[in-house]
Amino acid sequence: MRRALLVMLVAAGSAAADPAADAFLKAETVTASPVQAVPTSVGDPQWMKTPPVSFRLSAQRSVRLNDKRANELIEQPGFGEVRVRALASATELGVLLTWNDATQNVLRPDETNAYADSAAIEIPNVYGAGKRLPYVGMGDVELPVRLYMQRAVAKGVQANEYVAAGFGSLTRVPRVQATMAMEYDAKLKLWRALFVRPITVDGHTLTQSSLVPMAFALWDGARNERGGYKQLSAWHFVILPKPELDVAYVKYLSWGYKPGDLGDPERGRAIAETVCIACHHLPGKTIAPPGVAPNLSDIGAIASPIYLRESITNANGVIIHALNPNAHYMKTAPPDKTGAYPNADAFQWSATLPDGKPISKMPPFTVYTPEQVGDLVAYLKTLDGTKKQETKP
C-alpha cells in the first residue's frame, strides 16, 4: 500500500524523487485501507487482515507530577511501542491499537489506589498544508486538539471524548460520537483498543488533508499511570484513501528526514548545553529549577523535527501554559490577608501582555542561523529515553 502511495506521489509530480518525503512517509505514516464499513468490533477479521505499523512510545517526562510511587515506577521500562492499524470508509475512520501488556488492570470500584489500563488518540482541530503541528501533549493555546480516550473497567470501557488546548485544559465533550472498545487477550497478554469516529464531528472534519495527524497514548495501570503519567507517541499520520496525497503538507512535515537537513548533533549539543539549560533540563544537565520549563530529556521521542524547529525560532507561536501554575509559590513575597502566598512567576511558562495576548516566557531564538537551528534539532532528536517493557508476545 505504501509503495502504491509513493507511486501516487510520483504521479503527483512535484514531490517526485524527494528523499525527505520518502523517508517521512516510511517512518511516520500508517495507511488506512478502504472498506465499505469500518468494523466496530475489536475481533473483526477485517482488522487482522490489515497490516500494522509500529510506533515508538515514550514515558511522559516533559512535566513532572507529584505521585511518589508513580515517579518511582516511571523509571522502569514501559510498553516501548504500539501497533496501529487503520481502516476508512466514506463516512468513518477507524484505528485499532495493539500493545503487549503482562498485566490486565481495570478501574476498581472498591480501591482508592488502583489504576486502569487505558488508551487514547488525539487529532488536531486544524491541520493540513500551511498549518503548524500542535504541541503533541494535548495541543497548545493556538492549536487545540480533539481526543478520544477509553479506560478499562471490569466489563467494557469508560469512553470519553475531549477537546484540549494544552496542559490542564482537557474538557469533556458532552456527547461521545465515536465508538470505542478495548479487549484484553489473556493468552497473548495483549490489549486491543478500537477507535471509530465519523469523518465529520461537530464541524471537525478529517478530510482537511489526506494526512490526518494522530498521536497515541497508553496508560499502564500496573505503573500507576493515569493523566500525565502516560506513554505517548510523537505525531504520526493516517493516510486516507481519498483525496490524493497532500504533497504540500508532506513537504512541510518531512523537513528533517533527509540526511543533511538536520546538521551536526554535537554542535547542537554545545549550544543546548550553554543556552537551553538555563531553563530546560537535558540529560545530565539539570541546573535549572525543575518545572521552570519543559524537561527536554526525552523530547526527541515525542517531537517532530519541524515542530522543534518552530519552537526554537517562533516560541510565541507555540505557547503552552505550565501544567500547574500553583505548584510553586513565592515564599519571599508577603502573603495576602488570608495568609496565601502568590504563585512564583518563574514557574509560569507564559505571561499575558497588556492587550490580553499570551506571550511565551521563551524568547524566539532568531539569532541562530538555519544551520545552527538544524544542529540544535539534530541534537534534540537524539534525546530519546524510550525503554521497552520485556513481555513475551
Partner 1 sequence: MSARQLAMVMDLNKCIGCQTCTVACKTQWTNRNGREYMYWNNVETKPGDGYPKKWEALGGGFDAGGNLQDGVVPSKYSEYGVPWDYNQDEILKGAELQPGSDPTVGPNWDEDVGAGDFPNSYFFYLPRICNHCSNPGCLAACPRNAIFKRDQDGIVLVDLNRCEGYKLCIAGCPYKKIYFNPKLSKSEKCIFCFPRIEKGLPPACAQQCVGRIRFVGYLDDAEGQVAKLVNQYKVALPLHPEYGTQPNVYYVPPMSGPRKFDKNGKPIEGSDRIPLAYLESLFGPAVHDSLKTLHAEMDKRKAGKPSELMDLLIAYKHSDMFRIGTKAPEGFKLPVLK
- Quickly tell me which residue has 520518502 as its cell: 22
The answer to the question of residue 107 lying near partner 1 (CB under 8 A) is yes
Which residue, 36 or 66, has its beta carbon nearer to partner 1? 66
Number of residues located near partner 1, criterion CB under 8 A: 42
Reported as type and span, the H/E element at residue 298 is none
> Smallest gap, in angstroms, from Cβ of residue 332 to partner 1?
9
What are the cell numbers at 287? 541546573
The answer to the question of residue 326 lying near partner 1 (CB under 8 A) is yes
Q: Among the candidate windows 89-97, 103-111, 191-199, 365-373, which touches partner 1 by CB under 8 A?
A: 103-111
Q: Please give the Cα distance from 98 to 101 (Å, whole number).
A: 10
The answer to the question of residue 327 lying near partner 1 (CB under 8 A) is yes
The answer to the question of residue 156 lying near partner 1 (CB under 8 A) is no
* Residue 181, helix vs strand vs coil: strand
Which residue, 336 or 390, has its beta carbon nearer to partner 1? 336
Residues facing residue 383 across a β-bridge = none
Closest C-alpha among 27, 72, 91, 76 to residue 381: 27
Q: Counting beta carbons within 10 angstroms of the beta carbon of residue 35, is it exposed (0 to 12), middle (13 to 18) or buried (19 or more)? A: middle
> Smallest gap, in angstroms, from Cβ of residue 227 to partner 1?
4
> Smallest gap, in angstroms, from Cβ of residue 219 to partner 1?
11
> Smallest gap, in angstroms, from Cβ of residue 336 to partner 1?
7
What are the cell numbers at 301? 521521542
The answer to the question of residue 175 lying near partner 1 (CB under 8 A) is no
The answer to the question of residue 348 lying near partner 1 (CB under 8 A) is no
Which residue, 64 or 251, has its beta carbon nearer to partner 1? 64
Per-residue x/- track, 356-385, partner 1 (CB under 8 A): ------------------------------
Note whether 147 and 176 are within 8 A (CB): no
The answer to the question of residue 324 lying near partner 1 (CB under 8 A) is yes
Among residue numbers 111 through 150, which ones bind partner 1 (CB under 8 A)? 111-114
Q: What is the phi/psi pair of residue 242, to 5°?
A: -135, 155
What are the cell numbers at 72? 518511582
The answer to the question of residue 337 lying near partner 1 (CB under 8 A) is yes
* Residue 195, helix vs strand vs coil: strand
Which residue, 36 or 113, has its beta carbon nearer to partner 1? 113
* Residue 345, helix vs strand vs coil: helix
Calculated CA dihedral for residues 179, 32, 121, 182, nearest 10 degrees: 50
Q: Among the candidate windows 26-34, 166-174, 239-247, 361-369, which touches partner 1 by CB under 8 A?
A: 166-174
Q: Please give the Cα distance from 379 to 374 (Å, whole number).
A: 9
Closest C-alpha among 161, 158, 246 to residue 197: 161
The answer to the question of residue 227 lying near partner 1 (CB under 8 A) is yes
Which residue, 119 or 272, has its beta carbon nearer to partner 1? 119
List of residues contacting partner 1 (CB under 8 A): 65-69, 71, 107-114, 158, 167-172, 224, 226-228, 291, 323-324, 326-331, 335-341, 344
